[in-house]
Structures are given as C-alpha cells and as structure tokens.
Amino acid sequence: MVMDGFLNLNKPSQVTSHDCVAAVRRLLGTRKVGHGGTLDPLAEGVLPLAVGRATRLLPYLAADKAYRAVIRFGLTTTTDDLEGEVLSHCLATDLTLATVQAALPEFVGTLAQIPPAFSAIQVEGKRLYDLARRGQVVTPPPRTVVIHGLTVEGWQAGDYPELTLDVDCGPGTYIRALARDLGQQVGTGATLAHLTRTRSNGFTLETSLTLDQVKQQIEAQTFHLQAPEAALAYLPPLALEADLARRWQQGQKFAPPISLDPHQPYRILSAEGSDFLGIGQAELREGEPILKAKMVFKPWA
C-alpha cells in the first residue's frame, strides 16, 4: 500500500476531527496523518486527511470550502449550535422566508466576523473554548472572512422555523457565527442546528469515504490513497528537464526556464515522465527571478 497521499474522509457527527485522525492512524498503521481543517464535533462531512509525506502538502491544497447548514430561528445558545446551553428562545412563527432572503445579501462578500466564544481560536495563548468552559466570558477579536455565495435550499415554517442554506466560503469562516448573526439581523435570534461540509480543499462529499468503508477496503485490499498530484491539480504545472529537475530535487536554486508569478506556487514535474516532484515558487534575488523548492515531495535518489 502506498502510504503517501490523501484520504477524503466523511466525518460522522458526534466525533471529533482528532478522533478521526487517530482512527485512520490505527487503520493504516502510521503516525503520520494530519487533517486539512477541523470540523466541529456535531458537524459531519468532508475532512481531508494527509498521510505520510503528503502531510507537508496540506498548506498547498485549495482553500475554499462549502457547507450545507440548517439554521433554527427563535433560539440562541452559548456555543451558537445545539451543543450549548440555551440563552434565549422565543416563538418565531411570524418569520417568513422572504424576510430571511432579504437579509442574506448582508452576509455575502468580505465580512468582519466575530467567532463563537466556544472555538479553538487562541487569545493570549489560551483556547477560547477552554476559557468559556471555566466561565470566563471572552469576546473573540473579529476576523476577516469571505463568503462567496449563499443559496437557499429549504424552508420549514413553524414555531422555530428552520432554513437550509448552502454556503460557499473562504477558509476561517464560522458557519455557527453566520447562523447567530443572521438571527440577530432578522430579530429572532438563531443557532446552527445541523452542518455538513460538502467541499473542502478540493475534495467533495460525493467522493468521500466513511471510516467503515476505509476499513472494508483495507480488508479487501482495494484501498488506496489519492495521489498528491491529483489533489493539487488546480496549481499551475512547471515541467523541468532532467538536469534542472535533479538540481531542484537536491534543493538547488536557479533561474526558472520560463517566466513565473512570484506570488504563485507551482506543481513541479519532471518533463521526462511527468512525475510529481513537489512544490516550487519563484523569488526575486537582486532583481532576478530564482526558482526555489518550497516542498520536495520526491527527493533525488
């Protein structure tokens, strides 16, 4: 079994991302497993995992994410989801979908979002959820996030109506905070009732595997990790002839064979066999472009 690559895991609800990493470590018999972005314990869906040398490629995966959220109006909680204690509740029978839809454009674009008080963000070296559990109320500093689009997928009227919403966003966006803020905007309060991550780092829910499926495939000897070059296919390629490829794999720096964008990482390939060698990027040295190795996935042997 090739032990350097990616696993598109479908995380179940009520399980932490760390628990999923630990389970995959046991199944694959390796400690070198990392994830591409934590999912809250109540959330489910896409949790990209890197195995072996691919753990060093996690920073270069595609950044955007997508979620399907169920937002319940008329209820607020300490955690901004159903895991927390109820802070307030009121009947929101009169709330209509039209009112909610009219408020949604306020949450599209670049926003200053205040994360939930129960979150993994660190303030003065301490996790916010640790402070909150000790009864220390800390207002997290706002952070800049980007929401590319919001699409209504369902509406359930009632005393506590629920909105099913597809969210296309950038990294660092808290869907719990979006639910909380949307509830404030329409005047009823709201909390996140259910969350599924449908896309993350270029991986989609449709092609994800559950832990049981991974176990079954391992037992049937049909399991394989996704090759790094497939996960990084969105990056522009740069093919190097044999001599330059060897020098690059040895960590040498040299002028790139073509003009490169210094702000853009590149997939470095061998021109001979199109083998994926790693991630490279150009930098300016004394005004001249130099190609350097950001991560050598396949060193010179």
Nearest to 264 by CA among 246, 288, 282: 282
DSSP symbol at 211: H
Virtual torsion, Cα 225, 227, 231, 234, nearest 10 deg: -170
Cα pseudo-dihedral 86, 92, 98, 101, rounded to 10: -10
> How far is the C-alpha of 265 from the C-alpha of 272, rounded, in Å?
21
Chain centroid to Cα 162, Å, comes to 25
Residue written as token pair 């079994």: 1
Q: Other C-beta atoms within 10 Å of 141: how many?
A: 10
Name the amino acid, one letter, at 19: D
pLDDT of residue 128: 61
Residue where the block lists tokens 């955007």: 64
- The active-site residue out of 4, 19, 40, 80 is 40
pLDDT at residue 40, as a whole number: 87
Q: Tokens 């929101």 identify what position? A: 92
| CATH 3.40.50.300, applies to 65-200 | no
**Residue-by-residue pLDDT tens, the chain, 301 positions:** 668 999 999 999 999 999 999 999 999 999 999 998 889 889 999 999 999 999 999 999 999 899 999 999 999 998 899 988 899 999 999 999 999 999 999 999 999 999 887 766 656 556 666 655 665 666 778 999 999 999 999 999 999 999 999 999 999 999 999 999 999 999 999 999 999 999 999 999 999 999 999 999 999 999 999 999 999 999 999 999 999 999 999 999 999 999 999 999 999 999 887 899 999 999 988 888 999 999 999 998 7
How far, in Å, CA of 245 to CA of 285, rounded?
21
| pLDDT tens-place string over residues 49-108 | 999 999 999 999 999 899 999 999 999 998 899 988 899 999 999 999 999 999 999 999
CA neighbor of 250 nearest in space, from 296, 181, 286: 296
Q: Can you give the length of the chain in residues?
A: 301
pLDDT recorded at residue 127: 60
Phi, psi of 180 (to 5 degrees): -60, -45
Residue with tokens 């037992």: 219
Query: Would the CATH topology of 5-62+204-229 be identical to that of 65-200?
Result: yes
* Residues 64/148, Cβ–Cβ less than 8 Å: yes
Please name the fold of domain 5-62+204-229.
Pseudouridine synthase (3.30.2350)
| Sequence ranges of the domains in the chain | 5-62+204-229, 65-200, 235-296
Please indicate whether residue 40 is annotated as part of the active site.
yes
The Cα 149–Cα 163 span in angstroms is 15
Residue 146, amino acid = V
Pick the CATH number of 235-296 from 3.30.1330.10, 3.40.640.10, 2.30.130.10, 3.40.50.150: 2.30.130.10
3-state secondary structure 156-203: ECCCCCEEEEEEEECCCCCHHHHHHHHHHHHCCCEEEEEEEEEEECCE
Place of tokens 């306020």: 106
